[in-house]
Structure 1
Amino acid sequence: MNIELILFGAFALLTLLSAGTVIFARSPINSAMALVSTFFFMAGIYVLLWAHTVAVMQVLVYAGAIMVLFLFVIMLLNLGESPTRGKPTVARVAGGAATVGLFAVLAIILLKLPAEPATLSTGAQASFGTIATMGQVIFTQWLFPFEAVSLLLLVAMVGAVVVAKSRI
């Protein structure tokens, strides 16, 4: 047993615990803060997997910018505790069924994976995961989805302000 395996287990356990807190927290603020800790623990896992660029992006983009946006929306909407807590509704039953279905599909996919790991050529290993490579892929192959997500976030933020403005 080496230190990487111990750290991976610790980060994985803490990620699962904080993700569970996101789901079961009564306050939306507590849920959002637990999501921030989940993002940080995932960044730790990315570092252990030698994906330093993804780890930095995880902290900067998700734990930083996106969570600040989420917290502003929560505060603007002045969300409190849900009055229907614990009551089964159609949406909760459908969400639970979708979750079970997702886990079933993931289990099937994991069972079909080959036993031997994939290998990269020497040239691909040198450029794998660098900022230049990621930027080239994002701004050529994935430019439209990248811009669509940024537009979607802008629309969500404007919508939250409009909804909150009617209450002020």
Structure 2
Amino acid sequence: MSTFYFIAFLSIFFSILVISAKNPVHSILYLVITFFTFTVHYILLNAQFLAVVNFIVYMGAILVLFLYTLMLINLNKEAEPVKPFMVKISAVFGGGILAVALISSLKSLGVSDPVVLKNPNLGLVKNLGKVLFNEFLLPFEISSVLLLSAMVGAVLLATKEKETKATI
């Protein structure tokens, strides 16, 4: 119970750091930590498949791609335009209205215990595999052939046409 609330606090804390970080590289690194806390939440909810997919796809692929993209572009602070004073005032005003709305909505909520699953085997990969390879075997195989043909088509489109020019 206390682990859930601690990880929830870390999720909120690091997501606030994502927004408030001045350096975009630091913001992406905080986002990686935030997604890691989401992975821990999935494990606590007994959804191991979602935890692994979140870890591999989001943390391993997408965010690393964002990080490399940010490191390759030129983030020159001197070229950034200066924002007028009225834009800053309106941003503070809008943020204040958002804070008041969030606080008023949180006052109406009651703190409840986390949901306990009636079936503890609900999110297991074993059960997902049984359903995927029994009931949905044909759509699974069709989608794999479709992905394979898309990969072959992408490779063929990406190759240079040296052979056709030589025969003409």
Normalised by the size of structure 2, how large is the TM-score? Answer: 0.54
Residue 160 of structure 2 corresponds to none
Give unpaired runs (5+ residues) of structure 2.
110-114, 148-168
CA contact (8 A) 1:29 1:74 kept: yes
Q: What is the number of residues matched between the two proteins?
A: 130
The C-alpha deviation readout for 1:57-109, integer Å capped at 9, x for no partner, is: 1111111100111012111222255654796649x69x96xx78xx7xx99xx
Aligned counterpart for 1:74 among listed residues 55, 70, 77: 70
Please say if 1:58 is aligned against 2:54: yes
Residues 1-168 of structure 1 mapped to structure 2, 5 A cutoff = 5-81=1-77, 84=82, 89=87, 128=123, 130=125, 131-132=128-129, 133=131
C-alpha distance in structure 2 between counterparts of 1:17 and 1:42, whole Å: 13
1:56 Cα deviation (Å)? 1.0
CA contact (8 A) 1:27 1:80 kept: no
Q: Which has the larger radius of gyration?
A: 2
Instruction: Report the residue type matching 2:56 in the other structure.
Output: L
RMSD of aligned C-alpha atoms?
4.5
C-alpha distance in structure 2 between counterparts of 1:16 and 1:49, whole Å: 18
2:42 alignment partner, SS class: helix
C-alpha distance in structure 1 between counterparts of 2:37 and 2:122, whole Å: 26
C-alpha distance in structure 1 between counterparts of 2:84 and 2:54, whole Å: 32
Q: After TM superposition, what 4+ stretches of structure 1 lie above 4 angstroms from structure 2?
A: 80-90, 125-129, 133-136
CA contact (8 A) 1:28 1:80 kept: no
1:49 Cα deviation (Å)? 0.7
Normalised by the size of structure 1, how large is the TM-score? Answer: 0.54
1:26 alignment partner, SS class: coil
Give unpaired runs (5+ residues) of structure 1.
112-116, 148-168
1:33 Cα deviation (Å)? 0.1
Instruction: Report the residue type matching 1:23 in the other structure.
Output: I
